[in-house]
Amino acid sequence: MVDQTTSRRKFVALTALGTVAVSGCLGDEEPAEEPEEPEEEGEEVEYDIADQPEDAAAMFVTPEDGATVSSPVQFEAEVEGIELAAAGDAVVGEGHLHLLVDGEPFETGDVIPGPAEEVEDEQGIYHWGDGSSEGEIDLEAGEHSIVIQIADGPHRAFGETDEITITVENDDE
């Protein structure tokens, strides 16, 4: 029984000595940073519209500024600095497009109304919430200014806009 007790004491002493020796080899270095704990499921990540890329911009491809077109008008756009994605959650570097017919662009962070047929008819705000970059809109004959604007998943405006003026003619004119 004395041999087992002596052996245990030796083992504990050697283990303690080994720990001290290893820690002494580390010198004066700062201890390693604790790894970040993974986010727990359901935990919300803080998001601010200001986190969106500064170079985010939407531009018209067609029609060209000053064009004369017939209705329905086919629009095509492109973006820089972000990826187009369907409306939904706010994700940095993603957004979707809105066309504003005869309206002013929204300030960064303002919520763009819609999508709803009443918003399109009454306010001239057309929502491409599926992440598309093209579509067509029925417009009455006459001159119209069209703004294209990026919004994040929950429809908050950000990025540079583009504006064109077009003239819509009836096919029988």
Residues 6+ apart with CB under 8 A from 134: 74, 75, 76, 77
pLDDT at site 102: 96
Q: How far apart are CA 85 and CA 57, in angstroms?
A: 14
Q: How confident is the model at residue 16 (pLDDT cuts 50, 70, 90)?
A: very low
Which 8-state DSSP code applies to residue 49? G
In a domain, 43, yes or no: no
Q: pLDDT tens across 53-66, in order?
A: 999 999 999 999 99
Give me the domain span that covers residue 114: 50-169
Q: Find the CATH number of the domain harbouring 120.
A: 2.60.40.10
Strand partners, 80: 57
Angle, vertex CA 152, rays to CA 146 and CA 156, nearest 5: 70
Per cent of the chain over pLDDT 70 is: 72
| Token digits of residue 139 | 């417009």
Mean pLDDT, rounded, for 5-34: 46
Question: How many structural domains are present in the chain?
Answer: 1
User: Which comes out higher in pLDDT, residue 162 or 43?
Assistant: 162
Q: pLDDT tens across 68-89, in order?
A: 999 999 999 999 999 999 999 9
Total-model pTM: 0.71
Q: Where are the strands (E) in the chain, listed by range?
A: 57-62, 68-70, 73-80, 83-84, 94-101, 125-128, 134-137, 142-151, 157-169
In a domain, 18, yes or no: no
Residue 25 clears pLDDT 90, i.e. is over it: no
Residue 134 clears pLDDT 80, i.e. is over it: yes
User: Which comes out higher in pLDDT, residue 70 or 26?
Assistant: 70
Residue 153 clears pLDDT 50, i.e. is over it: yes
In a domain, 110, yes or no: yes
In a domain, 16, yes or no: no
In a domain, 99, yes or no: yes
Residue 48 clears pLDDT 90, i.e. is over it: yes
In a domain, 84, yes or no: yes
In a domain, 28, yes or no: no
From 132, 125, 82, select the one nearest 102 (Cα to Cα): 125
Mean pLDDT, rounded, for 21-26: 45
In a domain, 69, yes or no: yes
